[in-house]
Amino acid sequence: MTKYPMTVQGARALEEELAHLTKVVRPKLSQDIGTARELGDLKENAEYHAAREQQGMVEARIRDIEGRLQNAVIIDVTTIAHTGKVIFGTTVEIANCETDESVTYQIVGEDEADIKQSKISVGSPIARALVGKAEGDVVAVKTPGGLVEYEIVEVRHL
């Protein structure tokens, strides 16, 4: 059984999505199927088939979310003592050793990763290079453009 590391915010987002799917989307799809069924011959009823297909996708997503939540290991980084080490859930500011540009990432679970929100998956190459290292350490990250070195400027437990 696979365990899924997840931040508190990530678990909350999945719970909200699950509630929306079960309380809003599922009843609407049932209603749409009923309406489409009233239109007549089901063999040639595109609305009916589209609604049934949508229902199948929604039910699959509901099962997926329920499974992930059931097997989640929720980690609240704010309750863990700050040691300066990079661990799951921490927010890390790193600086490119060559260009001195700095970026900040939060290391999160696979479901939560969103580069636009500066959230990277714990399984990503940069997160794997950072985890276990401490403030002041220099890490080498293998990128498509070659090896890039970053210095860990700050580790925050937010």
pLDDT in tens, 75-105: 999 999 999 999 999 999 999 999 999 999 9
Q: Residue 43: pLDDT above 80?
A: no
- Helices 46-70 and 26-37: crossing angle in degrees, nearest 10, is 160
Instruction: Output phi, psi for 122, to 5 deg.
Output: -60, -20
| Domains of the chain, CATH where assigned | 4-75 (1.10.287.180), 81-156 (3.10.50.30)
What pLDDT score was predicted for residue 4?
Answer: 85
Structure confidence by residue, pLDDT tens digits, 1-24: 688 899 999 999 999 999 999 999
Q: Pull the structure tokens for residue 142.
A: 């293998």
Question: Is residue 41 predicted with pLDDT exceeding 80?
Answer: no
Instruction: Check if the beta carbon of residue 76 is closer than 8 Å to that of residue 5.
Output: no
Asked whether the predicted pLDDT for residue 42 surpasses 70, the reply is no
pTM for this prediction? 0.80
**Which pLDDT band, with edges at 50, 70 and 90, does 48 fall under?**
confident
In sign, the C-alpha dihedral spanning 141, 10, 71, 68 is negative
Whether residue 47 is predicted with pLDDT greater than 90 in this model: the reply is no
**Would you state the pLDDT for residue 152?**
95
- Give the pLDDT confidence score for residue 20 in this predicted structure: 97
Per-residue pLDDT at 50: 87
Segment 95-147, tens digit of pLDDT: 999 999 999 999 999 889 999 999 999 999 999 999 999 999 999 998 888 89
Contact 122, 103 (CB under 8 A): no
Tell me what pLDDT residue 44 has.
73
Query: Residue 70 corresponds to which tokens in the numbers above?
Result: 């059931």
